[in-house]
């Protein structure tokens, strides 16, 4: 018979041994789980790693594209597929060096100097200087802007300025350019897409009674409403030239004609056959020629040499 004190010692030994086994098993399990994670991370093949990185890059690009669209509410599907050229302070290859110069305007109305491209006709002109600006996501080097300015400057002076994507800020830039360039000279305001909206607002805010407006690809149809009220508010002394692409989804011709019929201001229309909101047509040669022709017609209109209510550029239909 085992003495009571030996039984107590044996029981304590067995309990300690069971505790040690349990601790070892827990430690083994922890190590096994950690090892499994390490093995999974190290066992990833280069191909799998590249695939993961590729997916990450795609997500980053998709997010950047989404952010860009949010910042630019007037971006159309056509513009998303065919982004406009990057900004450049140097003369564009499409512009003629003989009549091209850069200009920087400073004003208390804006925080940063306004960068401009100033085009001068080869012969002296008595026509008004057109102050022009690009669209929301565009630049001064965008083909639609360069083509228009090149055609316009064959007979008349034009100063195009670089602006932000904020509409209120663009209007301030217009007012700063008016103050800098005016000095008794005849002025006209114009722009394409959002720049056209800014031109109309600037005309209403300026002290000029008789303003002439050249509105290229005016974004009449907004995401939620028709942007016609400010056009209807223009006084009768104002002259307006609309330059619109035949397939412009943001300025349908039937809707524009309806608005023009209600406007107090006098207006005329130039339609570019087959062109969309970005004035894109095919082939590229035709797009350039049509763009320059719209600029030339706008200059002729400012000089009072266009009588037709509607003029077509390119092949109709």
What residues contact residue 192 under an 8 Å CB cut-off, 6+ apart?
133, 134, 135, 138, 144, 145, 148, 216, 217, 279
The half-sphere exposure of 290 on its side-chain side, counting CA atoms within 13 A, is 29
Beta bridge partners, 184, equal none
pLDDT of residue 137: 84
Please, are residues 242 and 265 in contact by the beta-carbon 8 Å criterion? no
pLDDT of residue 74: 53
Backbone angles phi, psi at 119, to 5 degrees: -105, 130
Separation between Cα atoms, residue 167 and residue 152, nearest integer Å = 25
Domains and CATH numbers, the chain: 101-313 (3.40.50.1820)
pLDDT of residue 87: 37
Of 52-56, 83-87, 249-253, the range with the highest mean pLDDT is: 249-253
pLDDT of residue 60: 53
pLDDT tier at 1, thresholds 50, 70, 90: low
pLDDT tier at 99, thresholds 50, 70, 90: confident
pLDDT of residue 277: 96
pLDDT of residue 67: 40
Q: What is the pLDDT of residues 163-220, one digit of tens each?
A: 999 999 999 999 999 999 876 677 899 999 999 999 999 999 987 767 899 999 999 9
Please tell me the least confidently modeled range out of 46-60, 139-153, 226-240.
46-60
pLDDT of residue 125: 87
Separation between Cα atoms, residue 53 and residue 59, nearest integer Å = 10
What's the mean pLDDT in 267-271? 98
Separation between Cα atoms, residue 294 and residue 45, nearest integer Å = 58
Please tell me the least confidently modeled range out of 73-87, 100-114, 210-224, 278-292.
73-87
pLDDT of residue 2: 53
Whole-number average pLDDT of the chain: 79
Identify the DSSP state of 265.
Answer: S
pLDDT of residue 187: 81
Beta bridge partners, 161, equal 116, 133
> What's CA 236's distance to the chain center, in Å?
32
pLDDT tier at 54, thresholds 50, 70, 90: low
pTM above 0.75, yes or no: no
What's the mean pLDDT in 279-286? 92
Q: Is the pLDDT of residue 273 over 90?
A: yes
Please tell me the least confidently modeled range out of 7-21, 138-152, 245-259.
7-21
CA–CA–CA angle 206, 209, 210 (5° rounding): 110
For helices 284-302 and 143-152, the axis angle rounded to 10 degrees is 40
């Amino acid at each position: 018979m085992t003495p009571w004190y030996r039984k107590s010692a044996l029981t304590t030994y067995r309990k300690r041994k069971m505790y040690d086994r349990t601790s070892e098993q827990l430690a083994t399990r922890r190590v096994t789980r950690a090892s499994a994670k390490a093995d999974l991370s190290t066992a990833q093949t280069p191909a799998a790693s590249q695939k993961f990185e590729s997916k990450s890059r795609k997500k980053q690009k998709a997010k950047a594209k989404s952010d860009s669209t949010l910042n630019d509410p007037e971006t159309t599907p056509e513009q998303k597929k065919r982004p406009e050229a990057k900004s450049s302070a140097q003369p564009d290859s499409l512009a003629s060096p003989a009549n091209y110069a850069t200009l920087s305007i400073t004003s208390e109305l804006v925080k940063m100097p306004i960068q401009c491209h100033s085009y001068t006709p080869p012969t002296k002109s008595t026509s008004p200087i057109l102050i022009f600006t690009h669209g929301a996501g565009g630049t001064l080097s965008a083909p639609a802007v360069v083509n228009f300015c090149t055609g316009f400057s064959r007979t008349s002076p034009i100063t195009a300025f670089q602006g932000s994507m904020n509409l209120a800020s663009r209007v301030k830039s217009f007012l700063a350019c008016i103050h800098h360039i005016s000095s008794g000279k005849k002025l006209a305001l114009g722009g394409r897409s959002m720049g056209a909206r800014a031109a109309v607002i600037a005309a209403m805010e300026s002290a000029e009674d008789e303003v002439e407006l050249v509105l290229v690809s005016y974004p009449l149809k907004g995401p939620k409403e028709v942007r016609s009220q400010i056009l209807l508010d223009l006084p009768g002394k104002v002259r307006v030239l609309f330059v619109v692409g035949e397939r412009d989804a943001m300025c349908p011709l039937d809707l524009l004609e309806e608005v023009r019929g209600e406007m107090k201001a006098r207006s005329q229309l130039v339609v570019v056959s087959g062109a969309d909101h970005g004035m894109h047509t095919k082939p590229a040669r035709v797009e350039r020629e049509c763009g320059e022709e719209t600029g030339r017609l706008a200059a002729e209109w400012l000089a009072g040499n266009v009588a037709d209510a509607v003029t077509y550029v390119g092949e109709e239909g």
